[in-house]
Chains A and B, each alone.
Chain A
Amino acid sequence: MSILITKDTTFIVQGITGREAVNLTRENLAYGAKIVGGVTPGRAGRDVYGVPVYDTVQGVVAKHGTPDGAVVCVPPRFTKDAVFEALENGVKLIVVVTENVPRREVAQMVELARLRGARIIGPNCLGIISPDEAKMGGVGGPAANTRQAYRKGPIGVMSRSGGMTTEIASTLTAAGLGQSTCVSIGGDAIVGTTYAELMPLFEADRETQAIAIYSEPGGRMEAELAEWVKANRSRLPIVAFMAGRFMDEMRGMRFGHAGTIVEGKEDTTAEKIARMEAAGISVAERIEEIPRLLRKRLAAQGVEV
């Protein structure tokens, strides 16, 4: 199994005629995704690599039924409306690729998603991949590159960086550790789904045996994960890699993603590492240590991978 998506997951691409969305559609189809339709207002009747284009989400739903998910790939100022449109048409899993959406609008999307019992991944993310099943979003790039970096297996991956999702998966694959599902959760200060919110899904997935995460300065997401792990006595060993350690000395400067800034003590990597280690999460100094640490933690539980 996997979490969030399988080879049977159906989805739509909103903004499908845009340059980035066209690439994404081609790459996802080539990896086996079931894209039932696309939406671009005013472009109904066209097709993108055989995917029919509609003016509205309603149009897709009328013809093909409600899809499981939607990938939103529209410019920042149209993003909130596109997400609202998907939510109000019953879509329950929305991957928001768009970067530079103001926080207020992200909060609005997340609030409506909560009311509708739906889940948002992102914004500012590359989406989800369940290796050898399907992917939803730009993660991994062209299908051939994706197959090179990702393999099916027991490790769940969560990352605040889209690029580092692939770097970690590629490192795991090279070490003979495949992945159950990898989620690029997004680099913004507010994201639809945090590490701690994905944990119950991985916990319930029998294929997943351990977790690898990529984290950064800024925000409280790592503290939230540490609390979750302690409170729920998770069965899953977690190995985290913490980037941006140099930022601890550079308060108020923004590097990398929108959510990456050290403002107070809790934002620093030192504080995050301390909290995670106190919760039993192993923290790797380098990406290449992740496979060894995962095997060590699993071996301690009597699991060989």
Chain B
Amino acid sequence: MRFYEYESKALFRKRGLPLGRSRVVKNAEEARAAAAEIGGAVVVKSQVLSGGRMKAGAVQFADTPEEAARKFEQVLPIVVKGEQARCVLVEEKSPVAKEYFASVTWDGRRKLPVLLFSDMGGIDIEEVAESHPDHLSRTHFSTILPLTERIAKEAISAVGVTGDELVRLTPIVFRLMQLFLDFDLTLAEINPLAKLENGKFLVLDGHVDMEAEARGQHEALLAELGIGKDETRQARPPTPFELEAARMNAADHRGIAGNVVEFDGDLGLVIGAGGGSLTLFDAVRKHGGRPANYCEIGGNPSVAKAKNLTRLLLSKPGVEKIAVMMNVVSNTRVDIVARGVIAGCLEAGKQPSDVIAIFRIPGSWEEEGFKILRKYGVDYCDRSVSMYEAAGRAVAKLAQGQACPS
């Protein structure tokens, strides 16, 4: 879960990282007041989660409070990679002598956190890695041995930084490493980390990503930063349809019918589980089908849960049929899912045999499940029909229905 720049900086400030004076502002008047309070030149920065603000013109400079107000009006409406600004940060502009880069992330291969440090900050770090590899150090560190400043010092020294710079940079980078572990982050980055003309160091821009799984452990921090529980911070904000699905999933602890993502197609998908859903979604698209949604059912969801998801899908405008498909299941019971989807169809006022294009869930309790499906005349298949073929059948049936409307 990505933090906005102003949230990242609030977290940095808690840990004593050096930051310039700044204010979060919501209108031009606040921007003017903030600039006046800070005094002197300021930077006016749009607050978006995606990168590329500078290129889009969403970062501007202002010498006076009036100019800051004007720049606010200019920056706020700019859409950066499809994203509207949430607010604007007005920050003191500092005369920079040199820029550094420090970042901590996970290395899934070494299974350790890795500190990246460069004395060529401010530019794209992948570019530095490619053209100036000697200016970028990668230092892995332990998650169980005591964390000490030594690692930060070695990483900084490795790119040839020495003297006063080394001494001043070490505690800053060390704090970034501590912060990364303490708050279950998946990314903690400062770029640029600037040396000012007066010799002091300042964090000019920073990025923080927190692991979604760890949100529960940091509720106090998130509340303090004003990050709401329903803010997913995915590439796009959740739709009302997705929020309703999430609410229904959370209301019943028995199994999962969740991770619903809305698409604009006409075939509703009741699919599972983690890997099976990815496989089935690909299969539907490969056959030329247009999914109305992505979802994951699993962990043996209750009848009510499968029912509610089915009803929600059938209520979505444009959805004519649903396909109920999973890989061979072990823990989820076929009969329970069958009962749930049939009840969902009936509650939506539809005939299960009309709207369920295919039911392909083989595995535990399949005989009981198939019996129920037969009773309602629903087209089903066992494991002898592959996931790919089942998806094809569903897509063909939908196309057929559209070709000759009844």
Residue A257 lies at the interface, judged by CB distance under 8 Å to chain B:
yes
Taking a contact as CB atoms under 8 Å apart, the answer to whether B388 and A220 are in contact is no
Q: Is B320 an interface residue (CB 8 A)?
A: no
Known pairs A174-B384, A253-B236, A254-B212; list 7 more (Cβ under 8 Å).
A104-B211, A164-B276, A194-B109, A243-B279, A246-B278, A252-B235, A255-B281
CA distance A167 to B213 in the complex (A): 27
Tell me, in angstroms, the Cα distance from A108 to B276 when the chains sit together. Answer: 30
Cβ of A141 and Cβ of B363 under 8 Å apart?
Answer: yes
Q: Would you call B330 and A219 a contact (CB within 8 A)? A: no
Chain B residue contacts of A106, Cβ below 8 A:
111
Which residues of B have CB within 8 Å of A46?
none
- Could you list which residues of chain A lie within 8 angstroms of chain B, going by C-beta atoms? 23, 76-77, 100-104, 106-108, 110-112, 126, 138-142, 145-146, 149, 159-164, 166-167, 170-171, 174, 187, 189-190, 194, 214, 216, 219-221, 224, 241, 243-247, 250-260, 285-288
Q: Is the interface of B mostly helix, strand, loop or mixed?
A: mixed
Contacts of B330 in A (CB 8 A): 126, 138-142, 145-146, 162-163, 166
Contact among A101, A243, A252 for B213, CB-based, below 8 A:
A101
For B283, the closest partner residue in chain A by CB is A286
Q: How far is the CA of A220 from the CA of B105 in the complex (A)?
A: 14
Partner of B142, one of A111, A138, A139, A287: A111
Give the distance in Å from the alpha carbon of A244 to the alpha carbon of B285 in the complex.
11
How far is A285 from B389 in the complex, measured between Cα atoms in Å? Answer: 13
Closest to A100 in B: B213
Residue of A nearest to B276 (CB): A163
In the assembly, what is the distance between CA of A106 and CA of B211, in Å?
12
Report chain B residues within 8 Å CB of A253: 234-236, 261
Interface mask (B8-42 → A, CB under 8 Å = 1, otherwise 0):
00000000000000000000000000000000000
Q: Is B364 an interface residue, CB under 8 A from the partner? A: yes
The answer to whether A220 touches B143, judged by C-beta atoms less than 8 angstroms apart, is no
Number of interface residues of B (CB under 8 A): 53
Interface residue from A139, A149, A167 paired with B387 (Cβ < 8 Å): A167
Interfacial chain B residues near A258, Cβ < 8 Å: 212-213
Question: Does B214 touch A at the CB level, under 8 Å?
Answer: yes
Q: Which residue of B lies closest to A20 (CB)?
A: B331
CA distance A103 to B112 in the complex (A): 10
The reply to whether B214 and A102 form a contact with Cβ atoms under 8 Å apart is yes
Q: Which chain B residue lies CB-closest to A262? A: B235
Binary A-proximity of B137-179 (CB < 8 A = 1, otherwise 0): 0000011100000000000000000000000000000000000
The interface stretch among B55-63, B69-77, B321-329 is B321-329
Quote the shortest CB–CB distance from A109 to chain B (angstroms): 9
* A288–B277 CB distance below 8 A: no
* Inter-chain contact A256/B274, CB cutoff 8 Å: yes
Per the bound structure, the CA–CA distance linking A219 and B213 in Å amounts to 17
Find the B residue at minimum CB distance from A114. Answer: B111
A sample of 30 inter-chain contacts (CB < 8 A) reads A102-B211, A102-B213, A103-B106, A107-B143, A108-B143, A111-B112, A141-B364, A142-B364, A145-B330, A146-B330, A160-B275, A161-B274, A162-B273, A163-B275, A164-B279, A166-B330, A167-B327, A174-B383, A190-B111, A194-B109, A220-B108, A224-B109, A241-B279, A243-B278, A244-B278, A246-B282, A256-B296, A258-B212, A286-B283, A286-B388
Contact: B327 with A163, CB < 8 Å?
yes
CB distance from A284 to the nearest CB of B (A): 10
Q: Report chain A residues within 8 Å CB of B211.
A: 102-104
- Which of B108, B142, B275 is in CB contact (< 8 Å) with A216? B275
Interface centre among B213, B261, B272 (most CB of A within 10 A): B213
Q: Is the CB of B186 within 8 A of A103?
A: yes
